[in-house]
Amino acid sequence: MQEVMRINGVINGIVWGPWMLTLLVGTGVYLTLILGLPQLRYFFLMFKEVFGNLGKKKEGEGTISSFAALSTALASTIGTGNIAGVATALHLGGPGALFWMLISAVFGMTTKMAEVTLAVKFREKDAQGNWRGGTMYILEKGAGQKWLAWLFAFFGFFASFGIGCAIQANSTAEGFNLGFGIPNLYTGIVVAVLTALVIIGGLKRISDVTTYLVPFMAIFYIIGGIIVVATHSEAIGPAFSSAVKYAVSDPMAMPGAIAGWAVKVAITKGIARGVFSNEAGLGSAPMVHATAVVDHPVRQGMYGLFEVFTDTIVICTLTALAIMTSGVLTGQPDLTGAQLSLSAFETALGGTGTMILSVGLGLFAFSTILGWYWYSETCGTYIFGTWIIPVLKVVWVAVIVLGAAGGVFLGDKANFLSNLWDMSDTLNGLMAAPNLVALLLLSGELRKLVKDFDEKRKNGTLKI
């Protein structure tokens, strides 16, 4: 296992290293330029599309509504990264990490829109008549790169069990243990049963649950975060100021090469944790967006814009401000991850803050388990065929219990969870390479789709 983890560490240093992060952000910059700044041009239009069409039946092929697809995608992206991931980025990279997280999110909005647009364009039905789409279909049907398509599905399938299931189950269990003293195993069993009741009904039941759960949990956490930040309102200005200042300078005022290293850490941790949270560039969320009932690929692409905006620019920023304005980042330098976020909420709300963060962490993680199940099923059916679905559901539920228990059954709780995080993080990053290749190879197709969308809106063929 030590040798496996050593190799994993080398690969992780590449997939989440400076070159790969540059490619992630660079692809977003390139797509932003050739598509005419869609995150700005469509900014108000995306709100009109998302909220103006609630409850309205749309024309087009698909399985679930555009909003249901958005909710399921947000269920996956709004997770532990919004709480623990942001705190870790600030702990390791300092206040400047927030600045780079936001920069990556702005361009990540275009990346996510491009992924979703192409996923709808190249979707197809599986052997059971269910709509399937995502990077593997884009690479095979659009770019003619079936080997890369298979590679993406392989990475996505195995990443799902870690980052989308076991780790989320553990976070849920830790959250309720932290807030209410419930043993991890008991929480794991309850979560496993609830998950089984949902996923047995397929995508429609998953989307039904997330459509109600995601808005509730997001509003619940946002209100709590606003209260924490408002309590320390005098520190909001200095927090933003320090984020900009330390984005390009060392917060410890160290000279020479050490200062350069500090800035590098702020950039890499800010971008990496931002991508980890909103998944822009990884190719995961398009697998559910591709099932939406929609009449034009770019229309669903606007839901991708909204997804990144909500996840990172709203929720991640709120978490970062809660930590920075409360003073716990510098006042308690030994804390990191969820503990740092928890301490920030406690400064303003005491025991109530503990409960809010615990429930928020639990709900975020549980919703991620539901959303990532669909990604696992989509990757699994692409590789093995639809026969894998019933087997996958049983394994998925079993992994929830194992993940929640945190390795108790294996006798090494600490190393189990640490190794699982590291390996899942690597597999998650490996998904990005084939996905970015697909986006770059089909950038010309994206331009045509966006141009067609704009023209049809102008002549009234498409109405929003």
User: Burial code of 14-53, b = ≥16 C-beta within 10 A, e = fewer?
Assistant: ebbeeebbebbbebbebbbeebeebbeebeebbeebbeee
Confidence label for 419 from pLDDT (cuts 50, 70 and 90): confident
Taking alpha carbons only, the member of 103, 83, 104, 86 closest to residue 94 is: 86
The pLDDT-based confidence of 259 (bands split at 50, 70, 90) is: very low
Residue 263 has pLDDT above 70, yes or no: no
For residue 132, the surrounding DSSP H or E stretch is: strand 131-132
> What does the pLDDT read at residue 35?
96
Query: Is there a contact between 88 and 336 (Cβ–Cβ < 8 Å)?
Result: yes
Query: 160: part of which helix (H) or strand (E)?
Result: helix 146-161
> Are 305 and 46 spatial neighbours (Cβ–Cβ below 8 Å)?
yes
- Residues 38-60 have pLDDT tens digits of 999 999 999 999 988 776 667 77
Q: Quick check: 283 and 434 in contact, CB under 8 A?
A: yes
Q: Check pLDDT > 60 for residue 262.
A: no
**Residue range 287-325, pLDDT digits in tens:** 999 999 999 999 999 999 999 999 889 998 998 999 889
Single out the residue of 147, 79, 139 nearest to residue 115, CA to CA: 139
pLDDT score recorded for residue 152: 95
| pLDDT value of position 249 | 67
pLDDT greater than 70 at residue 251: no
Q: Which tops the pLDDT comparison, 391 or 406? A: 391
Instruction: Tell me which residue has tokens 């809010």.
Output: 356
What percent of the chain stands above pLDDT 70? 87
Angle at 322 between CA 417 and CA 87, to 5 degrees: 25
Closest CA to 152 of 380, 437, 438, 434: 434
Handedness of CA 384, 387, 389, 393 (dihedral sign): negative
Buried/exposed 362-396: b ≥16 CB within 10 Å, e otherwise: bbbbbbbbbbbbbbbbbbbbbeeeeebbeebbeeb
pLDDT at 45: 94
pLDDT, tens digit, for every residue of 78-119? 876 777 778 777 877 788 888 888 888 999 999 999 999 999
Q: Closest Cα partner for 380 from 149, 157, 152, 133? A: 157
Adjacent-strand bridge partners of 125: 131
pLDDT exceeds cutoff 50 at 258: no
HEC string of 215-231 equals: HHHHHHHHHHHHHHHHH
Say if residues 149 and 347 touch (Cβ distance below 8 Å). Answer: no
Cα–Cα distance, 39 to 154 (Å, whole number) = 31
Q: What is the pLDDT of residue 254?
A: 39
pLDDT of residue 128: 82
- Average pLDDT on 51-78 reads 82
Best CA proximity match to 281, nearest among 23, 460, 6: 23
Q: What is the largest CA-CA distance in the chain?
A: 65
Greater pLDDT, 170 or 158: 158
Paired strand residues for 61: 294
What pLDDT, in 10s, does the model give residues 142-160? Answer: 999 999 999 999 999 998 9
* pLDDT tens, residue by residue, 184-225: 888 899 999 999 999 999 889 999 999 888 888 888 888 888
Helix, coil or strand: residue 125? strand
Q: Which domains, and CATH codes, for the chain? A: 14-458 (1.10.4160)
Give the CA dihedral 49, 53, 54, 55, nearest 10 degrees: -160
What's the CA gap between 381 and 374, in Å, rounded? Answer: 10
Structure confidence by residue, pLDDT tens digits, 327-372? 877 766 666 666 777 788 888 788 777 777 777 777 888 888 999 9
426 vs 303: CA distance, rounded Å = 27
Contact 259, 249 (CB under 8 A): yes
Model confidence at 409, pLDDT cuts 50, 70, 90, reads low
- Give the C-alpha separation, 28 to 101, whole Å: 13
| Phi and psi torsions of 131, nearest 5° | -70, 135
- With residues binned 3-state (H G I as helix, E B as strand, rest as coil), the percentages for the chain, rounded to 5, are 80, 0, 20
Q: Is 150 exposed, middle or buried, given 0-12, 13-18 or 19+ CB atoms closer than 10 A?
A: middle
How many residues in total does the chain contain? 464
Q: Which alpha helices (DSSP H) does 327-408 contain, by range?
A: 328-331, 337-349, 351-384, 388-405
Kindly list the distances between the CA atom of residue 313 and the CA atoms of 1, 358, 401, in Å, as whole numbers in the listed order: 38, 22, 33
Name every residue whose Cβ is closer than 8 Å to that of residue 40 and which is 6 or more positions away in sequence: none
Could you tell me which residue, 445 or 271, shows the higher pLDDT? 445
